[in-house]
Amino acid sequence: MKHKTRTSHKTILALLAAFLLPVLLAWLVLALGWFTPGVKAHGEWVQGQITEDTQWRLVLPVTPECESCELAEPLLENIDLALGRDSNRVSVLRLPVGNGLEAGFVYIADPPGMLIMRYSLSGEEASDRATGKALLGDLRRLLKFSRAG
């Protein structure tokens, strides 16, 4: 009789360990910061609001003295061309600085007018080319999963 109870206790403990040990290890990994979540977005998340529209928008805040804003014009045109068949879902919008918009950045806004992400413009061609690639990748991902616009 003792042998059966000992075996059943071992079985119960083994089952508890099999179910509780992974949960305990996952909690430990997260609590100690050993895991960094894989974020695919390249831009900086922002909050803000602009006017509502039927399309996604690339927003370029402009000021008369902003040199990087002038250099961003061809970049935004190239992004529009690179979108291919999705280019009709995106428009480029130039707005004055203010209401949460800062010069030296390009913003992505969804059709309801929420600002989602922003990308820094440096005014240097190589750096802005990398920014353009990151912006294009994030915009394609947004368009892929969005039914709006």
Q: Which residues are registered as beta bridge partners of 118?
A: 44, 107
- What is residue 64's predicted lDDT score, i.e. its pLDDT? 80
Q: Which segments within the chain are labelled E, that is strand?
A: 44-45, 56-62, 90-96, 105-109, 115-120
Residues in the chain where the model's pLDDT stays below 50? none
- What is residue 99's predicted lDDT score, i.e. its pLDDT? 79
pLDDT tens for residues 25-47? 988 888 888 877 666 777 788 88
Q: Please state the separation of Cα 44 from the chain's center in Å.
A: 7
